[in-house]
Amino acid sequence: MKSAEAAKEASRLLGSQVEMARLLKVTAPTVNQWCSGERPVPAKRAIQIEALTGGAVNRADLCPSFPWGQIISAAGDAAQQTAA
């Protein structure tokens, strides 16, 4: 799924682009730009959108350029070292 498609799906699930903007405390034009593909969804917002949609829209789909796998892997490694 492309980032813009994921943003559109999130806005549909959340009720509208205006409602999504309100929940994220951003402007409606910002959400519209994400949905049209004019601007990328920032990683911070991708995490928030994933949470707001209950995981129905994935952060990696919203922000595919962010190294999600590397971050998750590093966090897992750190947790294992702490537990040892």
Distance CA 45, CA 77 (A): 25
Query: Is residue 14's pLDDT more than 60?
Result: yes
Burial status of residue 68 (CB atoms within 10 A of its CB: 0-12, 13-18, 19 or more): middle
Looking at every residue in the chain, the average pLDDT score rounds to 90
Bigger pLDDT: 71 or 82? 71
Amino acid 76: pLDDT: 54
Query: Is residue 78's pLDDT more than 90?
Result: no
Domain count of the fold of the chain: 1
Distance CA 49, CA 30 (A): 14
For 83, the 3-state DSSP assignment is: helix
Amino acid 83: pLDDT: 58
* CATH code, domain carrying 43: 1.10.260.40
Q: Which domain holds residue 61?
A: 3-83
